[in-house]
Chains A and B, each alone.
Chain A
């Protein structure tokens, strides 16, 4: 069995093989792989006995269920009104500067992806961003540099 097959099987065992299990399974794939490959969707469709296009149609509906490859750390910068008013663009510039990529791109080492997202619910502590599931608020460009440095180091530590 391939890694993806094993992962899908594990998730199906955990959440069940009914249609209601689809979202938790897709979320499980994201947690592990950061994106849901065509192959993963095919395996899920087989396990749940639903059509592949339905898996695809459901996955693409949800902003967090990416179906295109993403980096290990997916950064989502809130672009909704308050964050936008409170300097979202500077945060984006800082990220782009740190990572040497543009919005919607992934670093060549497949570590980081920069995305924008809609309201994260931290308007009173704008600007805000998510890195995977972790929240960062009241950001400044300096903080962004520090956070990214920390994540880079984290990667090195994990490797070691």
Chain B
């Protein structure tokens, strides 16, 4: 098979010091035009869930509420993900441009960056940028203030409704949906909440237009995507790649030559074993070749020295601790999975017990209250099904 070179891009981290002009230009367009442009760009949320960004803005814009909010979700907690921190470090103005345009089209007057506590060191830099931006907005006639809200060590707060609970001074427990944030978000007001990278991509759309953005990627996976690459690779780091590539393409570029499996999308994503590298494409839902995986952009490579039991155990302990604990399938399910694979490994439970656990993850997938509990099944099933032997012996 011919080796395909991954198309690397330099859109997000490109230093676009013309951002004030772009902001001015965009502000001249009507709100409807901006939303249409966003929708036609095909941009989908880059946090992992992949909801169309333009639609989110549209829904919030349509609400008649006087008070609305824009929140930038910088609670980047997915294991193996670290791109948002780099965006905020290198090109924070792109994120703020996205927030400002969002505020203009939706009528929001207040914005927040929910920054994970682990990134507290970024606060001084961001504060400076926010101050500058406030003035830029004012000059453009937009009364829009952005503040930083700092997290305090809770993975679940990356879930949008948990994040809002946290901002309201409560435990970060996901809410029942409906209502969705576009109707009733922070403080019960319509709220747009976008991931850092999503907002940075809106800048690309404003600058180059929806058409150019749409030309990147394939089918319904439009645009480029930042990937956080880690694990057994000689070149860990952050890369901007086109969506739609196969895992094989990726491995060819990044592995240390001994790649056994790739975890796509972090602990809540899927493990792709070597035999599936060719048939698995990275994107949202497109049926390019075989399976397609959604992703928050985490790519972890494992070489043949790694025990997949240890990998799974590490993920499960993570979920067991980071579950908010409110819903039964997630709180108790995670504990059963952690203890269950341990019992099988020790021979205290028969190998067939893994099948019971697989069924349990089926239940977790359809009954857990939020994405955390629902997605535990992803890594569990993909690891156990592909590396069953390693779970037992």
**A and B found bound together:** yes
- Residues B77 and A82 in contact, CB atoms below 8 Å apart: no
Q: Who on chain B is nearest to A81 by CB? A: B314
* Cβ A119 vs Cβ B236 within 8 A: no
A118–B306 CA distance with the chains assembled, in angstroms: 20
B258 to chain A, nearest CB (A): 14
CA A85 – CA B310 in complex, angstroms?
9
Q: Return the contact of A133 from the options B121, B151, B238, B321 (Cβ within 8 A).
A: B121
Alpha-carbon separation in the docked complex, A59 to B58 (Å): 36
Which residues B219-265 have CB closer than 8 A to chain A?
A: 228-232, 236-238, 263
Q: Which residues of chain B are near A84, meaning CB under 8 Å?
A: 310, 314
Let me know if B33 is at the binding interface, CB within 8 A.
no
The answer to whether A121 touches B169, judged by C-beta atoms less than 8 angstroms apart, is no
Contact indicator B121/A118 (Cβ below 8 Å): no
Q: Is there contact, CB below 8 Å, between B82 and A81?
A: no
Interface segment among B23-31, B152-160, B359-367: the answer is B152-160
B80 within 8 A of A: yes
Asked if B349 is an interface residue, CB under 8 A from chain A, the answer is no
Q: Are B154 and A123 in contact (CB under 8 A)?
A: no
Q: Mark B42-64, 1 if CB is under 8 A from A, else 0.
A: 00000000000000000000000
Q: Please give the distance in Å from A34's CB to the nearest CB on chain B.
A: 13
B230: chain A residues at CB < 8 Å are 82, 123-124, 126
Query: B168 near A58 (CB under 8 angstroms)?
Result: no
Known: A24-B150, A124-B230, A124-B238. A119 touches B169 (CB 8 A): no
A27-B77 contact, Cβ under 8 Å, with A19-B170, A58-B169, A124-B82: no
How many A-B contacts are there with CB distance less than 8 Å? 120
| B171 touches A (CB below 8 Å) | yes
Interfacial residues of chain B within 138-182, with CB under 8 A of chain A in the complex: 149-155, 166-172
Are B170 and A119 in contact (CB-based, < 8 A)? Answer: no
Number of chain B residues close to chain A: CB under 8 A: 50
A82–B302 Cα gap in the complex (Å)?
10
CB pairs A–B below 8 angstroms (23 shown): A18-B169, A20-B168, A20-B169, A20-B187, A61-B172, A62-B152, A63-B153, A82-B79, A82-B230, A82-B231, A82-B300, A118-B77, A118-B155, A119-B80, A121-B85, A121-B118, A123-B79, A123-B81, A124-B228, A124-B237, A125-B236, A133-B121, A134-B121
A95 contacts the other chain (Cβ, under 8 Å)?
no
How many Å from the CB of B67 to the closest CB on chain A?
14
Question: Binary interface profile of A, 119-143, with partner B (CB < 8 Å = 1, else 0)?
Answer: 1111111100010011100000000
Assess whether B150 is in contact with A121, with CB atoms less than 8 Å apart. Answer: no
Let me know if B81 and A62 touch, CB within 8 A.
no
A26 at the interface (CB under 8 A from B): yes
- Residue B117 is within 8 A (CB to CB) of chain A in the complex: yes
Interface set, chain B 296-330, CB cutoff 8 A to A = 298, 300, 306, 310-311, 314-315, 318, 321-322, 324
Is B119 an interface position by the 8 A CB rule?
A: yes
Q: Is the CB of B121 within 8 A of A124?
A: no
B210 within 8 Å of A by Cβ? no
CB distance from B355 to the nearest CB of A (A): 25
Residues of B contacting A82 in the complex (Cβ-Cβ under 8 angstroms): 79-80, 230-231, 300
A19 touches B168 (CB 8 A): yes
A23 touches B152 (CB 8 A): yes
Q: A98-134 vs B: 1/0 string, CB under 8 Å?
A: 0000000000000000000111111111100010011
Which residues of B are at the interface with A, using a C-beta cutoff of 8 A? 76-82, 85, 116-121, 149-155, 166-172, 187, 228-232, 236-238, 263, 267, 298, 300, 306, 310-311, 314-315, 318, 321-322, 324
| Residues in chain B near residue A75, CB distance under 8 A | none
Q: Which A residues are in CB contact (< 8 Å) with B298? A: 123
Chain A, interface residues (CB within 8 Å), range: 35 or more
Please, how many angstroms separate the alpha-carbon atoms of A134 and B33 in the complex? 44
Known: A118-B322, A124-B228. A64 touches B117 (CB 8 A): yes
Complex-state Cα separation, A22 to B172, whole angstroms: 13
A20 with B167: CB separation less than 8 A: yes
In the complex with contacts A123-B82, A124-B229, A80-B318 CB distance below 8 A:
yes
Report Cα–Cα, A18/B120, bound state, in Å: 23
Determine the chain B residues whose CB is within 8 A of the CB of A57 once the complex forms. Answer: 171
A32 within 8 A of B: no
- Residue numbers in B under 8 Å from A11 (CB-CB): none
A23-B152, A119-B318, A124-B230 given; name 17 further pairs at CB < 8 Å. A26-B152, A27-B150, A61-B171, A62-B117, A65-B153, A81-B311, A81-B318, A84-B310, A84-B314, A85-B306, A119-B79, A119-B80, A121-B81, A123-B300, A124-B229, A124-B237, A125-B236
Q: Is A21 an interface residue (CB 8 A)?
A: yes
